[in-house]
Amino acid sequence: MIEAYILHLLILICIYAILAMSLNLITGYAGMLNLGHAAFFAIGAYTSTLLVMAGFPFWFAFLAAAGMAALFGVLLSIPALRLRGDFLAIATLGFGEIIRSILLNWTELTRGPLGIPGIPKPELFGFEFGALHWYFVLAFAVTVATYFILRKILAGNFGIVLKAIRESEPVSESLGKNVKLVKIQAFALGACFAGLAGSLFAHYITFIDPSSFTLAETILILLMVTLGGMSSLKGSIAGAIILILLPEPLRFIGLPSAMVGQLRQIIYAGLLLALILKRPKGLFGEKWFKGIVSEG
Amino acid sequence: MKGEIAVMGIVLCVLFAGCVQQPEDETIKIGALLPLTGEVMIWGENTKNGMELALEEINKEGINGKEIEIIYEDSQCSPSKTSTSIQKLISVDRVNVVIGEICSSATLAAAPIAESNQVVLISPGSAADSISEAGDFIFRNYPKNMQITESVIEVLDNLGRNRIAIMYVNNDYGISLKENAEKIFAGEIAIAEAHDQKATDFRTTLAKVKEQNVDAVFLATYYTDGALILKQAKELNLDVLFVGPDVFDDPEVVKIAGNAADGIIFSTVKPGAGPAFTEFSSKYKNKYNKEPGFLADFGFDALNVIAEAMRQGNFEGEEIKNFLYDLKDYPGASNTITFDSKGDVANSALVIKTIKNGEIVLYEAD
């Protein structure tokens, strides 16, 4: 029986690891602070849900979720090209809120705040991933694939250009790199994987509503990236593992029932603070060279 | 690196140590999923107070010599946190019954997990109509929105109002009331305007409503925004009949709206004068030194019907489920409880009340 609980946590870890890795690509590697990541997560979740509910097969909905999220990634990157730093953060924050508002108010399509209950479990070629362990296999496979695909991409030229842009856009441009195109690609790629995570989330929880995709969700993912370390995929996975598991032992301490909720929150926050103070760069963080090469 | 691995090792160790340690069951465990922190923590708190009060009485006698132990999980009204919490309650604490959640979206996320593990889930506060279809093991002792809407619409029909406006809060609760009204109201709905749950200024909407010259306004709101609407309507000289759901059955409404609250007609479940409620209310005041807040009586009843099932020897999910479907006219504090085939409280005894000179009184048609 206890395996069910552990499997559940492992599935959540997989979903959040994908999210953290995809955000790390945008924020850690390319240095663009993205506060609207939960929107891509939401777009993936809703796209996949609505398509499956409309009778499309899961594999199609799963890929469409990635495609739709990537499309929105490109859309967001257009205004984002002109912005950097704090301004970019505000623009992405706005984007996240816009998507949430649309999901909340376009009730004919999304049922708005009522949410969509009874999302079917995924089925691939006649095999249903209904049981927890099979769902874990699916989520784990997607996570591993995400890790290796991103590692391959980021270890190559693309990754180096991304880091160069992060350190200094003018220098990268002067070396003949197409900064705009690379930024668009980074957003699209990050969004695409967040979309996949959204699809996995929707079919696992089997209920989605806009309240699952708020700014708090983005902050949680960003925290995973920061805690694990910027521009480290392994770090993002570690960040997801820690932040999903950290609240769990607190359930077993046997706190007095009078203030169990509040005490857990306080302990959780305290542990987080301690971790960040101990390792300000994150567990597997890489040093940024900003400050050595000055901005134009 | 070593440091990091050590930290993660410790985290994992604590996790598994917590899981492995499982003493002999000397108590009967019941799970509770409530928003104990966050925006709606007050509802979680009220429900918990009600449950604690019931627990005290139940454990005085015990059940087969055993005490009931409630394991509270803070699910924060969030679907994903709720799914983790109920998974933990079911697979680690091995509970057969879970009381919760309050928020409909969270209850809907917990429902499939409860259903597939044959664990009874009983919500003391979720009103969304879709919960009726959530599964055989899913119950609620809170009336669903449709019942409330029907009774409000009946009031309008009896008074011969056939052109109304709806002002609703833009969340699952408000929308579901509004959609129900659109479905069953035979007259014309001239205008339906949404507002944010935290909105405080309704003058623009009220001006629009005033232009429409309607016979009545249906407030599908909570008590704070609803009371503010009443107050601002009076300021705008909008003299029209207001009707609303059970949330107006709260002295706070009069506190906020003052004499503008006079005249609103609403449908509510609280028997108010019923003996079970009076008894509950006085015990509650004794223990907590305040009036029972919204949902406290529902939490109290939810735990009591479960205890009743266990007193009669039903401990497994399946047995408790069957007991609940067979339960007839249980005299609860919130209501007389009989579950229908969907696990909803069948024909909740609704009463129509109104506010007269700052007092909540039973409504009598003149």
Chunked into runs of 10 residues, chain B (366 residues) has average pLDDT values of 57 51 70 87 89 92 88 86 89 90 89 92 88 91 84 88 91 85 90 87 92 91 89 90 87 86 84 73 90 86 93 91 91 85 80 86 78
The H-or-E segment that residue B121 falls in is: strand B120-123
Q: Identify the band that residue A83 occupies on the pLDDT scale cut at 50, 70 and 90.
A: confident
Mind spelling out the 3-state secondary structure of chain A? CHHHHHHHHHHHHHHHHHHHHHHHHHHHHCCCCCCCHHHHHHHHHHHHHHHHHCCCCHHHHHHHHHHHHHHHHHHHHHHHCCCCHHHHHHHHHHHHHHHHHHHHHCHHHHCHHHCEECCCCCEECCEECCCHHHHHHHHHHHHHHHHHHHHHHHHCHHHHHHHHHHHCHHHHHHCCCCHHHHHHHHHHHHHHHHHHHHHHHHHHHCEECHHHHCHHHHHHHHHHHHHHCCCCHHHHHHHHHHHHHCCCHHHHCCCCHHHHHHHHHHHHHHHHHHHHHHCCCCCCCCCCCECCECCC
**Which residue of B14, B105, B133 is in closest CB contact with A211?**
B105
Question: What is the C-alpha to C-alpha distance for residues B64 and B312, in angstroms, rounded to an integer?
Answer: 10
Least confident span in A14-18, A250-254, B151-155, B354-358? A250-254
Q: Identify the band that residue A3 occupies on the pLDDT scale cut at 50, 70 and 90.
A: confident
Q: Are strands B97-100 and B27-34 parallel, antiparallel or unpaired?
A: parallel
CA nearest neighbour of B174 among B217, B128, B214, B108 = B128
User: Would you state the structure tokens that stand for residue A74, as one six-digit string?
Assistant: 């490109």
Phi first, then psi: give them for residue B120, nearest 5 degrees.
-75, 130
Under 8 Å between Cβ of B152 and B244: yes
The answer to whether A3 faces chain B, any CB pair under 8 Å, is yes
- In a mutagenesis test of the B interface, which of A46, A111, A132, A207 is the best target, namely the one with the most B β-carbons within 10 Å? A207
Question: What is the C-alpha to C-alpha distance for residues B56 and B66, in angstroms, rounded to an integer?
Answer: 13
| pLDDT tens digits along A205-236 | 888 888 889 888 898 899 889 888 888 888 99
Predicted confidence at residue B19, as pLDDT, reads 47
Interchain pair A284, B44: CB under 8 A = no
The answer to whether B42 faces chain A, any CB pair under 8 Å, is no
Phi first, then psi: give them for residue B283, nearest 5 degrees.
-65, -40
The answer to whether B362 faces chain A, any CB pair under 8 Å, is no
Question: What is the C-alpha to C-alpha distance for residues A214 and B36, in angstroms, rounded to an integer?
Answer: 19
Q: Which CATH superfamily is domain B22-143+275-334 in?
A: Response regulator (3.40.50.2300)
The number of C-beta contacts closer than 8 angstroms across A and B is: 129
B146-268+350-362 has CATH 3.40.50.2300 classification? yes
| pLDDT tens digits along A26-79 | 988 888 888 999 999 999 999 999 999 998 999 999 999 999 999 999 999 888
The H-or-E segment that residue B123 falls in is: strand B120-123
User: Would you state the structure tokens that stand for residue B304, as one six-digit string?
Assistant: 């009591």
Which residues of chain B from 185 to 204 reach within 8 Å of chain A, CB to CB? Answer: none
CA nearest neighbour of A5 among B85, B124, B82 = B85
Q: Identify the band that residue A293 occupies on the pLDDT scale cut at 50, 70 and 90.
A: very low
The H-or-E segment that residue B192 falls in is: strand B188-195
Phi first, then psi: give them for residue B70, nearest 5 degrees.
-100, 130
**Which residue of A118, A206, A264 is in closest CB contact with B74?**
A264
Q: Is B137 exposed, middle or buried (0-12, 13-18, 19+ CB in 10 A)?
A: buried
Q: Identify the band that residue A292 occupies on the pLDDT scale cut at 50, 70 and 90.
A: very low
Predicted confidence at residue B176, as pLDDT, reads 84
**Which residue of A112, A117, A242 is in closest CB contact with B11?**
A242
Under 8 Å between Cβ of A241 and B8: yes
Predicted confidence at residue B20, as pLDDT, reads 47
| pLDDT tens digits along B147-195 | 888 888 988 888 888 899 999 988 778 888 898 899 999 889 999 999 9
DSSP E strands, B254-303: 265-268
Q: Residue A291 pLDDT > 50, yes or no?
A: no
| pLDDT tens digits along A159-207 | 888 888 888 888 888 888 888 888 899 999 999 999 999 999 999 988 8
CA nearest neighbour of B25 among B86, B73, B66, B55 = B66
User: Would you state the structure tokens that stand for residue A226, as one six-digit string?
Assistant: 């920061």
CA nearest neighbour of B276 among B325, B347, B337, B359 = B337
For residue B175, give the 3-state DSSP assignment.
Answer: helix
Closest A-chain CA to B86 = A5
Interchain pair B80, A212: CB under 8 A = yes
Phi first, then psi: give them for residue B242, nearest 5 degrees.
-105, 135
Question: What is the C-alpha to C-alpha distance for residues B37 and A256, in angstroms, rounded to an integer?
Answer: 15
Interchain pair B12, A245: CB under 8 A = yes
Cα–Cα distances (Å) from A277 to A161, A225, A265, A273, A287, in that order, read: 31, 15, 18, 6, 17
Query: What ranges do the domains of chain B cover?
Result: 22-143+275-334, 146-268+350-362
Residues of B in contact with A252 (CB under 8 A): 14-15, 17-19, 21
Phi first, then psi: give them for residue B77, nearest 5 degrees.
65, 15
Q: Are strands B216-220 and B241-244 parallel, antiparallel or unpaired?
A: parallel
Closest B-chain CA to A4 = B91
Residue A172 to chain B, least CA–CA distance (Å):
32
The H-or-E segment that residue B300 falls in is: helix B296-311
Predicted confidence at residue A296, as pLDDT, reads 34
Interchain pair B91, A251: CB under 8 A = no
Question: What is the C-alpha to C-alpha distance for residues B114 and B97, in angstroms, rounded to an integer?
Answer: 9
**Which residue of A117, A261, A283 is in closest CB contact with B36?**
A261
CA nearest neighbour of B301 among B336, B325, B273, B328 = B336
Give the residues across from B169 on adjacent strands: B195
Give the residues across from B353 on adjacent strands: B266, B362
**Which residue of B74, B105, B111 is in closest CB contact with A209?**
B105
Predicted confidence at residue A288, as pLDDT, reads 61
Which residues of chain B from 84 to 123 reach within 8 Å of chain A, CB to CB? Answer: 84, 87-88, 90-92, 94, 104-105, 108-109, 111-112, 117
Interchain pair B79, A212: CB under 8 A = yes
Under 8 Å between Cβ of B365 and B351: no
Q: Are strands B216-220 and B163-169 parallel, antiparallel or unpaired?
A: parallel
The answer to whether A46 faces chain B, any CB pair under 8 Å, is no
User: Would you state the structure tokens that stand for residue B196, as one six-digit string?
Assistant: 């944010």
CA nearest neighbour of B365 among B154, B200, B190, B168 = B154
| pLDDT tens digits along A125-144 | 778 887 888 899 999 999 99
Residue B16 to chain A, least CA–CA distance (Å):
8
CA nearest neighbour of B17 among A72, A252, A268, A275 = A252
Predicted confidence at residue B7, as pLDDT, reads 56
Q: Identify the band that residue A22 occupies on the pLDDT scale cut at 50, 70 and 90.
A: very high
